[in-house]
Chain A
C-alpha cells in the first residue's frame, strides 16, 4: 500500500460518497452542493492520472458552469427547497440491475487487464498534445461539437426571448 494508492482510495471514497449524497439525498440543494464535491473529487482523480489540463477544465466547466446552471434552475423554481425529493420510483429494480451489471463488468475488465480499457501511456504535458490532436486527428468531431454548441446557444436565446 503506497501512499499514492492511499490517496487514491481516499479521493475515490470521497467522490463516491458525494455522488451517493447526490443520488440518495432528500434535500435538492444539498444534493447540488454534493455534486460540486463529486466534480472536484473527479478533478483530483484526473490529476492523479497526470491529466492536469483535463482536471482544470473539469473544475472550470463542470463546477464553474454546469453546477451554477443547476443551482440557478433550482433557485428559480419556487418553493422547491421545502419539497422532499423522491429518491426511488417504479424503475428502481431495473436501474439497480443495470448499475450493478455495469459495475461488475468494469471490475472484471480492470482485473482481467483488457487492453482497450486500461490506462494510456503517461505524457509530460497534456495540453499541447490535446490541442494538436483536436485540430488534426480529431478535427471533425471538434467542429461538429462547435456546431452543436452554436445550435444550443441559438436555441437558448430563442427560448428566453420575450415576445
Chain B
C-alpha cells in the first residue's frame, strides 16, 4: 500500500459514508480512550489495517476562554491562561504577560526576567517528562511512566515551594513576578538538576536505545517539511523535519540571548525524530536553568505598573516558545481595563490539524505512536 501524496494546501477534508465493505470500515476512537490524551475524538477510515483518512473532532473541552477574556481585566486573565495548557502553565503565563507588557511598553526588572526563564525552562522539562511518560506507556513500556513521574514530582515540589501550587501556578504578573524565590530554592533547584542529568541516560537505556522501541517509531508518521511549514507546525514538530525554528533564538525575547544553548534539530520527519528532539531539549533546558541560576541577579521582582492595568489602544501579536510550539497571544486593546479582543494561537491546535496528513498510509497500530508524538493537550486545543 503506497502512501498517497499530501493534499494541496486549502483542501477541506471530508468524506461521506459511501457504504462499508469488509475492507473499508469506519472506526471511532474516543472521546474516551486511554490513548487520545484527553477528550479527542478521531474518526478513522480504514482499509484493512491501513488508515486511509482521519477526521479529528475537537471541542469537547471548549470553555469559552477567549470570550471570558473579554469580560475580565488583564490581571484576572492570568489564572485562565494556566488552564489553557495545564501541563505547561508557566509557559502560558509567560506568553500572556509578555504580550501585555509589550503592548504597554513595560520594562521588567532583570531578576524577574531571570526568574521567568528559570521557571519556563523547568516547566519545559516537566512537560516533556510527562510526554515521555505517556508516550512510553502507550507503546507498552509501563516502567518509564513511573520513572518520569518521579522526576516530575521533584519539579512540582520546586514549583510548589515557589508558588504554593502544583499545577496551575498563576505566578507571573504583568510587570514581573508575584513573589520571590524562597531562600533555599536555588540550592534545591541545583540539586534537582544534578539528579536529573543522571536520569536522562537511564531513560535512554530503558527506552531510547531499545531496538523494540526504535523499530516501533522509526519511519512512521512522516510529514513533508514543506507541507509541515504550510500547515504552520512549530516547536518540536517542525524541528523534527529539519527546519531550524526556535522562537527563543529567533525573537530573543526576555533574556534568552544571554545563555549558551543549542536547539536540537533532526531530519527524518518521523516519530523517532520528534522523540529525539524532545529528549535533547530536556538536556538543553537543564543547561539553561543552570546558567540562569548562576547569573541570577538580586533586585526587584516587579516593575512599577499601575494597579488597574489599562494598556493604550492598539493591537499586538506576541509569540513565545512553549513546550508544544509557537504560542501566540493576539490582543486588541481599546484603552479600557478589559481587552476588546483576546485570541490565543495554540500550538497544539495547529499541530493536531496536521495529524490526518501524518496518519495517511499508516497502520492502525501506528496511530497511537503518531498521536503520542504530536504531544497535544486538549485544554489548549479546545480553549
Contact flag (A, B; Cβ within 8 A) = yes
Question: Would you call A76 and B1 a contact (CB within 8 A)?
Answer: no
Contact with B along A9-40 (1 / 0, CB 8 A): 00000000000000000000000000000000
- Residue A78 at the B interface, CB < 8 A? yes
Which residue from chain A places its CB closest to the CB of B1 in the assembled complex? A162
Chain A contacts of B212 at CB under 8 A? none
Question: Would you call A78 and B1 a contact (CB within 8 A)?
Answer: no
Task: A78 to B1: give the CA distance in the assembly, Å.
Answer: 23
- Residue B205 at the A interface, CB < 8 A? no
Task: A53 to B1: give the CA distance in the assembly, Å.
Answer: 45
The prevalent SS among residues of A at the interface is loop
Q: How many residues on the B side are at the interface (Cβ–Cβ under 8 A)?
A: 2
Task: A78 to B20: give the CA distance in the assembly, Å.
Answer: 11
Contact with A along B1-26 (1 / 0, CB 8 A): 10000000000000000000010000
Chain A contacts of B1 at CB under 8 A? 162
Contact with B along A138-163 (1 / 0, CB 8 A): 00000000000000000000000010
Task: A76 to B23: give the CA distance in the assembly, Å.
Answer: 11
Contact with B along A56-87 (1 / 0, CB 8 A): 00000000000000000000101000000000
Chain A contacts of B22 at CB under 8 A? 76, 78
Task: A76 to B22: give the CA distance in the assembly, Å.
Answer: 8
Chain B contacts of A162 at CB under 8 A? 1
Task: A78 to B25: give the CA distance in the assembly, Å.
Answer: 13
Task: A27 to B329: give the CA distance in the assembly, Å.
Answer: 64
Task: A162 to B22: give the CA distance in the assembly, Å.
Answer: 15
Which residue from chain B places its CB closest to the CB of A79 in the assembled complex? B22
Task: A162 to B1: give the CA distance in the assembly, Å.
Answer: 8
Min CB–CB distance B286 → chain A (angstroms): 48
Chain B contacts of A78 at CB under 8 A? 22
Task: A31 to B347: give the CA distance in the assembly, Å.
Answer: 57
Contact with B along A108-130 (1 / 0, CB 8 A): 00000000000000000000000
Min CB–CB distance B353 → chain A (angstroms): 31
Min CB–CB distance B71 → chain A (angstroms): 55
Which residue from chain A places its CB closest to the CB of B22 in the assembled complex? A78
Task: A136 to B1: give the CA distance in the assembly, Å.
Answer: 48
Min CB–CB distance B75 → chain A (angstroms): 61
Min CB–CB distance B362 → chain A (angstroms): 16
Task: A78 to B22: give the CA distance in the assembly, Å.
Answer: 7
Which residue from chain A places its CB closest to the CB of B48 in the assembled complex? A162
Min CB–CB distance A99 → chain B (angstroms): 36
Which residue from chain A places its CB closest to the CB of B20 in the assembled complex? A78
Min CB–CB distance A83 → chain B (angstroms): 15
Task: A69 to B160: give the CA distance in the assembly, Å.
Answer: 60
Min CB–CB distance B127 → chain A (angstroms): 41
Task: A60 to B152: give the CA distance in the assembly, Å.
Answer: 52
Task: A17 to B333: give the CA distance in the assembly, Å.
Answer: 86
Task: A162 to B23: give the CA distance in the assembly, Å.
Answer: 12
Min CB–CB distance B336 → chain A (angstroms): 64
Min CB–CB distance A148 → chain B (angstroms): 30
Min CB–CB distance A67 → chain B (angstroms): 22
Task: A125 to B1: give the CA distance in the assembly, Å.
Answer: 52
Task: A76 to B1: give the CA distance in the assembly, Å.
Answer: 21
Chain B contacts of A76 at CB under 8 A? 22
Min CB–CB distance B52 → chain A (angstroms): 14
Task: A51 to B98: give the CA distance in the assembly, Å.
Answer: 85
Min CB–CB distance A21 → chain B (angstroms): 28
Min CB–CB distance A88 → chain B (angstroms): 30
Min CB–CB distance A76 → chain B (angstroms): 7
Task: A162 to B47: give the CA distance in the assembly, Å.
Answer: 12
Task: A106 to B22: give the CA distance in the assembly, Å.
Answer: 46
Min CB–CB distance A5 → chain B (angstroms): 51
Which residue from chain B places its CB closest to the CB of A77 in the assembled complex? B22
Min CB–CB distance A156 → chain B (angstroms): 18
Min CB–CB distance A145 → chain B (angstroms): 33
Min CB–CB distance A45 → chain B (angstroms): 39
Min CB–CB distance B107 → chain A (angstroms): 65
Task: A150 to B1: give the CA distance in the assembly, Å.
Answer: 27
Question: Which positions 231-249 of chain B face chain A at CB distance < 8 Å?
Answer: none
Which residue from chain B places its CB closest to the CB of A78 in the assembled complex? B22
Contact with A along B233-271 (1 / 0, CB 8 A): 000000000000000000000000000000000000000
Min CB–CB distance A82 → chain B (angstroms): 15
Min CB–CB distance B49 → chain A (angstroms): 11
Min CB–CB distance A133 → chain B (angstroms): 45
Min CB–CB distance A81 → chain B (angstroms): 14
Min CB–CB distance A25 → chain B (angstroms): 25
Task: A78 to B24: give the CA distance in the assembly, Å.
Answer: 13
Task: A78 to B23: give the CA distance in the assembly, Å.
Answer: 11
Task: A147 to B1: give the CA distance in the assembly, Å.
Answer: 32
List 3 interface pairs A-B (beta carbons < 8 Å), by A numbering.
A76-B22, A78-B22, A162-B1
**Lowest 3 CB-CB distances: which A-B pairs, in order?**
A78-B22, A162-B1, A76-B22
